[in-house]
């Protein structure tokens, strides 16, 4: 008989490996030793009968000829199955993705593969076998293992094989919704309380430029899955390297997580008899004192973490310099030609200063264009050596607010390091997010790319539109951002169709085919088809509940006066594309059957994508529609592109001419909201500041360095809320960012902005309430002595957006801890009694109702009242007291 066993405290990788291994050993029995993680237990309670797993109490080991061990090699972790290791006649097979150690079980067959999950190895073996049948339930179980062990394909141990495995299992009917429901389990109140205490205990040490977080907790009784709590702690605080120490009597359990290749936590914890893999490992110790262990751990980390990147690895060389004798105007022209914002100033082969665009502008402001740069350069030059480590470079740039550091070797200038060089090294993808182009395209059909990127259901909709156009004798094209994103390799479900023909008629045909509805705008020759969201296609965050397709008869627009709304004439596709804002948004792809996917690019949009440029289509574009100025900034910062010089010059001219003053304020508002809804809106805000655009929102808006920090803290606070809070509500994140943007304004000035741009009532109320209340609320939350009911009274009247803004502003851990308690605990508490109970006690409806119920709620929040009986007793005392007074 074949027996397949995994490790105790089984996770989904263990369970899924059991199920996959049985496909390799068809007549085997499955054994789960000891206990399982809570989410696995919950899952097994539903499917146990369908997958037939044995527990240790009922397992007979007498007839076992072959023992198959999955997801572990440790004798101590396989329960009673370890007895079979003593029997030489039992053949041992092992499948595990954890690195081997000297203490492992020795197998007759031992398979190891450096992949994200053990089940990935097993599924790969199944894929190579022909005619292996996998049911949707089995595929779902296997997908649970891969997704849990790889952090939904986000951990650095994830490989291409893990990704391929997910694709294969989905093709076998794996249910992603079921996977999500079991992997994203909410913490219990007790687990959340313990997580809060861990957060409070966390200390961060810097070792060779890497932040190492160490958290401690004491466990007196079983409180849940420690792995889940550790995962939540890492998610909430976003520590790159985390060690969590759990003290349980005289035992110490250590769990470690790392998202950095520089720190292999498996290698670190092996010193303590632990095991795991590079990004996740654990160890158990007995009789170890916590402080002694921490000292040993830090010594091991210091010897293991090595500096790998130095100035010489990231510097630009040779350096573009300015002569000390150069005139201000000459220096300005040179910097502009080189695309630089600053350069070292040289004299007799030595660096004597730095000249920046800011220095030059100051000189020009006072008409000193013919003066030498020597008089306006910065003389206090901070330099580094070629072997200066990157973390020291980061520290110097941050502490001294320096954007560029010259690199010297033997007093000779050999290179220069800028902030961008550091960012590109630390976050390699941050500026070059979209890199689909390796060479100029010679084949202009993008149907293969569409098939690769788009779900089959969306592709079918496009084919249906094309077939409808063929029947009517029209030409139909998908246009704009949809085509741009296909070329960038990004999914986009906003389908805009341009029709050389009757767009309203074609829209009606498509609506009838999908049994949807049609909204018609006859004046503009447009229609919108509204249908059910395609089955099997996950709706993006913030997307409408219904799937919409916009149809427009190809048209051209003319503007009777600057910033006016356009008048429309029906025309050709080229005219339709020419009316758009930028070249990258002025491309089309044919939907007709004979030319499906054929790219139409009249204005060089594909080349501009390749060169990462935002380029306007014609000279009057910003005069015609000044809101395109905001849009240019939004696209520039979203994609990490840059406007070409001509486009930027046109923007500056439009701003100088006051074009925003001729634009409807509601349109400016809409563009501002879109900017604030971007993933990292601060980039666009800083660019708007650079282009002097913020004054068109309000002249006194000021963006400081602290504003950048505040935007980051808002994002962190919102992420933390989304990951830990119970009783979640939808958060308007853009409103919180707007609170930060308007922070420098007074209440009356903020009110003026709200009214000028016609912000909707809900947003207006939040903005003004925040301006009126947040300082007072924050001051009270920082008070040392504050009962929970008082915290509740301070925060309950505020919107969640205001509370998250306060959290972002709060530098006090105490204030943020109270806010976390409000979201996690106090906000959930309700009274068991209501008006009917008070009526039965003889209280007449009126103000006393509210007073008594509020008092009960506050007592409950303070933990002084637990049950409904307690609430009634308290109210009776309140009634007696009220009558007595």
Sorting pLDDT into bands at 50, 70 and 90, what band is 398?
confident
**Residue 222's pLDDT is what?**
64
Q: What is the CATH number of the domain that holds 166?
A: 3.90.1640.10
* Interval 302-323 mean pLDDT: 81
Sorting pLDDT into bands at 50, 70 and 90, what band is 51?
confident
Calpha distance 301→286 (Å, rounded): 21
pLDDT at 561 over 60: no
* Interval 103-122 mean pLDDT: 91
pLDDT at 767 over 50: yes
Q: What is the CATH number of the domain that holds 707?
A: 1.10.3090.10
Structure tokens that stand for 10 in this block: 């089984």
Do 466 and 599 reside in the same domain of the chain? yes
**Residue 785's pLDDT is what?**
86
**Residue 435's pLDDT is what?**
39
Do 407 and 329 reside in the same domain of the chain? yes
Q: What is the CATH number of the domain that holds 259?
A: 3.10.310.30
Q: Which of 611, 633, 664 is the last residue of a domain?
A: 611
pLDDT at 751 over 90: yes
Higher per-residue pLDDT: 588 or 396: 588
Strands in 322-323's sheet, in edge-to-edge order, are 322-323, 342-347, 350-356
Sorting pLDDT into bands at 50, 70 and 90, what band is 231?
confident
Q: Identify the DSSP state of 62.
A: T
Report the DSSP beta bridge partners of residue 521: 526
* Interval 469-491 mean pLDDT: 92
* Interval 673-683 mean pLDDT: 93
Residue 641 belongs to a domain: no
Do 158 and 79 reside in the same domain of the chain? yes
Q: What is the CATH number of the domain that holds 602?
A: 3.30.460.10
Q: What is the DSSP string of 270-294?
A: GGGT-EEETTEEEEEEES--HHHHH
Calpha distance 632→738 (Å, rounded): 20
| Other beta carbons within 10 Å of 800 | 22
What's the Cα-to-Cα distance from 401 to each of 533, 580, 876, rounded to whole Å?
50, 40, 64
Q: Identify the DSSP state of 95.
A: E
Residue 654 belongs to a domain: no
Residue 559 belongs to a domain: yes
* Interval 578-585 mean pLDDT: 90
Residue 617 belongs to a domain: no
Q: Which of 592, 611, 630 is the last residue of a domain?
A: 611
Alpha helix stretches (DSSP H) within 4-52: 12-24, 38-51
Three-state secondary structure call for residue 159: coil
How big is the CA angle at 303 (ends 302 and 306), to the nearest 5 degrees? 80
What's the Cα-to-Cα distance from 89 to each of 22, 85, 105, 220, rounded to whole Å?
21, 9, 16, 44
**Residue 185's pLDDT is what?**
65
Crossing angle of helices 136-149/38-51, nearest 10°? 160
| Other beta carbons within 10 Å of 352 | 14
- Cβ–Cβ under 8 Å, residues 111 and 70: no
- Cβ–Cβ under 8 Å, residues 378 and 354: yes
What lies within 8 Å, CB to CB, of 853 at 6+ separation is: 831, 833, 834, 838
Do 573 and 460 reside in the same domain of the chain? yes
Report the DSSP beta bridge partners of residue 203: 214
Q: What is the CATH number of the domain that holds 369?
A: 3.10.580.10
pLDDT at 635 over 60: yes
Calpha distance 212→300 (Å, rounded): 12
Do 16 and 131 reside in the same domain of the chain? yes
Residue 710 belongs to a domain: yes
pLDDT at 588 over 90: yes
Do 547 and 604 reside in the same domain of the chain? yes
Do 503 and 566 reside in the same domain of the chain? yes
- Cβ–Cβ under 8 Å, residues 62 and 29: no
Do 768 and 710 reside in the same domain of the chain? yes
Calpha distance 456→87 (Å, rounded): 54
Sorting pLDDT into bands at 50, 70 and 90, what band is 527?
very high
Q: Which of 557, 591, 611 is the last residue of a domain?
A: 611
What is the C-alpha radius of gyration for the chain, rounded to an integer number of angstroms? Answer: 32
Sorting pLDDT into bands at 50, 70 and 90, what band is 186?
low
Residue 636 belongs to a domain: no
* Interval 654-672 mean pLDDT: 85
- Counting the structural domains of the chain, the total is 6
Do 76 and 20 reside in the same domain of the chain? yes
Sorting pLDDT into bands at 50, 70 and 90, what band is 496?
very high
Structure tokens that stand for 140 in this block: 């779902």
The count of C-alpha atoms lying within 13 angstroms of the C-alpha of 848, restricted to the half-sphere facing its C-beta, is: 15
Q: Find the domain containing 372 and state its range.
A: 311-426
pTM of the model: 0.51
pLDDT at 130 over 60: yes
**Residue 564's pLDDT is what?**
44
Residue 550 belongs to a domain: yes
Do 467 and 600 reside in the same domain of the chain? yes
Calpha distance 328→822 (Å, rounded): 58
| Other beta carbons within 10 Å of 189 | 12
- Cβ–Cβ under 8 Å, residues 477 and 600: yes
- Cβ–Cβ under 8 Å, residues 257 and 284: no
Q: What is the DSSP string of 550-570?
A: EEEE-EEEE-SSTTPPPEEEE
Residues in the chain: 885
- Percent pLDDT > 70 in the chain is 93
* Interval 755-773 mean pLDDT: 95
Structure tokens that stand for 759 in this block: 């912000």
Do 597 and 486 reside in the same domain of the chain? yes
Residue 590 belongs to a domain: yes
Do 61 and 175 reside in the same domain of the chain? yes
């Amino acid at each position: 008989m074949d027996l397949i066993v995994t490790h105790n405290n089984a996770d989904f990788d263990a369970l899924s490996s059991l199920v996959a291994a049985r496909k390799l050993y068809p007549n085997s029995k499955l054994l789960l030793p000891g206990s399982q993680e809570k989410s696995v237990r919950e899952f097994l309670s539903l499917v146990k009968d369908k997958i037939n797993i044995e527990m240790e109490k009922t397992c007979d080991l007498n007839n076992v000829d072959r023992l198959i061990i999955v997801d572990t090699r440790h004798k101590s972790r396989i329960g009673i199955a370890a007895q079979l290791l003593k029997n030489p006649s039992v053949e041992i097979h092992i499948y595990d993705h954890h690195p081997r150690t000297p203490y492992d079980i020795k197998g007759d067959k031992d398979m190891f593969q450096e992949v994200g999950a053990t089940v990935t190895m097993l599924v790969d073996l199944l894929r190579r076998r022909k005619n292996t049948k996998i049911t949707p339930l089995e595929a779902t179980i296997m997908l649970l293992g891969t997704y849990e062990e790889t952090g939904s394909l986000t951990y650095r141990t994830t490989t291409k094989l893990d990704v391929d495995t997910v694709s294969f299992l989905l093709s076998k009917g794996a249910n992603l919704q079921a996977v999500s429901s079991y992997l994203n389990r909410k913490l219990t109140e007790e687990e959340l309380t313990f997580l809060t205490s861990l957060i409070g205990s966390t200390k961060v040490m810097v070792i060779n430029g890497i932040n190492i977080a160490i958290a401690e907790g004491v466990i007196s009784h079983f409180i849940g899955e420690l792995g889940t709590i550790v995962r939540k702690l890492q998610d909430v605080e976003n520590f790159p390297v985390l060690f969590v120490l759990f003290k349980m009597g005289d035992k110490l359990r250590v769990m470690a997580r790392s998202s950095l290749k520089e720190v292999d936590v498996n290698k670190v914890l092996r010193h303590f008899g632990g095991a795991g893999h590079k990004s996740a490992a654990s160890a158990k110790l007995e009789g170890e004192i916590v402080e002694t262990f921490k000292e040993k751990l830090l010594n091991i980390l210091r010897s293991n973490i090595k500096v790998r990147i130095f100035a010489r690895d990231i510097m630009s060389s040779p350096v573009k310099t300015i002569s000390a004798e150069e005139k201000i105007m000459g220096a300005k022209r040179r910097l502009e030609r080189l695309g630089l914002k600053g350069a070292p100033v040289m004299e007799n082969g030595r660096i004597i200063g730095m000249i920046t665009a800011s220095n030059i502008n100051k000189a020009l402001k006072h008409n000193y264009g013919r003066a030498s740069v020597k008089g306006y350069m910065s003389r206090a030059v901070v330099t580094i050596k070629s072997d200066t480590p990157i973390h020291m470079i980061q520290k110097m740039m941050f502490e001294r607010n320096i954007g560029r550091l010259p690199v010297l070797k033997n007093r000779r200038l050999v290179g220069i390091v800028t902030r961008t060089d550091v960012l590109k090294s630390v976050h390699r993808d941050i500026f070059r997010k979209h890199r689909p182009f390796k060479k100029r395209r010679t084949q202009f059909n993008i149907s293969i790319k569409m098939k690769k990127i788009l779900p089959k259901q969306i592709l079918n909709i496009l084919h249906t539109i094309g077939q409808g156009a063929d029947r009517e004798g029209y030409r139909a094209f998908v246009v704009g951002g949809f085509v741009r994103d296909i070329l960038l390799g990004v999914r986009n479900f906003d389908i805009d169709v341009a029709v050389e023909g009757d767009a309203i008629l074609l829209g009606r045909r498509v609506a009838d085919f999908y049994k949807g509805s049609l909204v018609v705008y006859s004046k503009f020759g447009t229609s919108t088809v509204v249908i059910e969201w395609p089955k099997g296609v996950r709706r993006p965050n913030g997307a409408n509940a219904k799937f919409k397709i916009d149809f427009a008869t190809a048209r051209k627009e003319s503007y009777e006066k600057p910033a006016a709304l356009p008048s429309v004439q029906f025309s050709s596709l080229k005219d339709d594309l020419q009316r758009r804002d930028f070249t990258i948004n002025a491309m089309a792809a044919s939907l007709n059957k004979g030319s499906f996917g054929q790219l139409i690019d009249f204005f060089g949009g594909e080349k501009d994508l390749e060169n990462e440029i935002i380029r306007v289509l014609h000279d009057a574009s910003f005069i015609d529609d000044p809101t395109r100025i905001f849009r240019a900034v939004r696209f520039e910062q979203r994609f990490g592109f840059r406007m070409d010089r001509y486009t930027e010059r046109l923007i500056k001219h439009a701003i100088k001419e006051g074009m925003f003053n001729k634009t409807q304020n509601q349109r400016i508002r809409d563009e501002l909201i879109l900017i604030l809804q971007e993933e990292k809106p601060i980039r666009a805000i800083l660019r708007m500041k650079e282009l002097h655009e913020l004054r068109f929102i309000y002249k006194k808006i000021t963006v400081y360095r602290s504003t950048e920090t505040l935007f980051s803290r808002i994002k962190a606070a919102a992420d933390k809320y989304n990951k830990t809070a119970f009783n979640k509500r939808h958060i308007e994140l853009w409103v919180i960012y707007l609170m930060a943007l308007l922070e420098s304004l007074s209440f009356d000035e903020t009110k003026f902005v709200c009214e000028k741009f016609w912000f909707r009532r809900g947003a207006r109320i939040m903005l003004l309430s925040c301006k009126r209340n947040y300082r007072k609320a924050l001051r009270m939350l920082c008070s040392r002595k504050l009962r929970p009911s008082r915290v509740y009274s301070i925060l309950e009247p505020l919107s969640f957006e205001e509370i998250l803004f306060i959290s972002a502003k709060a530098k006090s851990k105490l204030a943020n801890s109270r806010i976390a308690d409000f979201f996690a605990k106090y906000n959930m508490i309700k009274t068991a009694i209501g008006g009917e109970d008070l009526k039965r006690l003889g209280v007449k409806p009126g103000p006393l109702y509210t007073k008594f119920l509020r008092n009960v709620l506050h007592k409950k929040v303070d933990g002084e009242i637990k049950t409904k009986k307690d609430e009634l007793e308290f109210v009776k005392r309140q009634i007696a007291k009220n009558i007595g007074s």
